Amino acid sequence: MFAYAAAHGITLRLDGSEIQVRRPPARRPGRRAFVSGKKKMNTIKFTKVCDERGRTLLDATFRPGCQHDQTALQTDGIDDLLEQFPDVTCEMDAGYRGLHRDHPGQVSVPPKKPAKDAAPEVTEAWEQARHGQSSTRICVEHAIADSKNWRSLQRWTGRRNDLPETIQAVGSLVSDRAAAR
């Protein structure tokens, strides 16, 4: 995917999402790993990568709900891929500030919010920069929403081991539909 983006000059949009799953059985090792700190329920997280038109390029980094998005990208080697492909640029949300720090020319995140006592022109400049960055990232949010509109991904009731294949299948179907628009 990174080689494709480098060859065609595509800016990647990455974002993480989570899907509620059934609670693991009692007295099983790793039961607490699925509890998301954000949603306070059992989830599996995944990362969606799309292009500027909202076409899904990859659904990857499936992990239990307790793991942070940035940690998953680093453990899956996306941090290393950014080093291997210095021409690839990525738009991400504020949860990936560490990747922005490590790869400042490649990873774009929203600017930090100014202090409460900041001058009005500083606050206005921050608002415009934040709005511009979120406008370029909105296509990945729409791609996630398109996938989650499918009934099976609103709340997964099947085996947790089968969820990654289902997410990838739905992502490819949604991607084909986005390409036809």
pTM value? 0.83
pLDDT value at 123 more than 70: yes
Give the pLDDT confidence score for residue 90 in this predicted structure.
92
Distance CA 115, CA 175 (A): 40
Residue 22 · residue 138 · CB < 8 Å: no
Helices (H), the chain: 2-8, 69-75, 78-84, 97-102, 120-148, 163-180
| Token pair listed for 78 | 């996306």
- pLDDT at position 65: 79
Q: How confident is the model at residue 177 (pLDDT cuts 50, 70, 90)?
A: low
Write the CB contacts of 75 (distance below 8 Å, at least 6 apart in sequence).
none
Distance (Å, whole) CA 35 – CA 21: 10
pLDDT tens string 38-87 = 777 788 888 899 998 888 898 888 888 778 877 877 788 888 899 999 99
DSSP states of 1-38: -HHHHHHHTPEEEEEEEEEE-PPPPTT-TTGGGGB-TT
Strand order across the 11-20 sheet: 56-64, 43-50, 11-20, 89-91, 107-108
Q: What integer best gives the mean pLDDT of the chain? A: 86
Question: Which pLDDT score, from 0 to 100, does residue 72 have?
Answer: 79
pLDDT score recorded for residue 42: 85
SS3 11: strand
| Per-residue pLDDT at 119 | 92
Q: The tokens of 122 are what?
A: 């500083």
Q: Where along the chain do its domains lie?
A: 2-180
The answer for 117, left when phi > 0, alpha when psi is -120 to 50, beta otherwise, is alpha
What torsion do the CA atoms of 155, 15, 145, 51 make, to the nearest 10 degrees? -140
pLDDT, residue 178, reads: 60
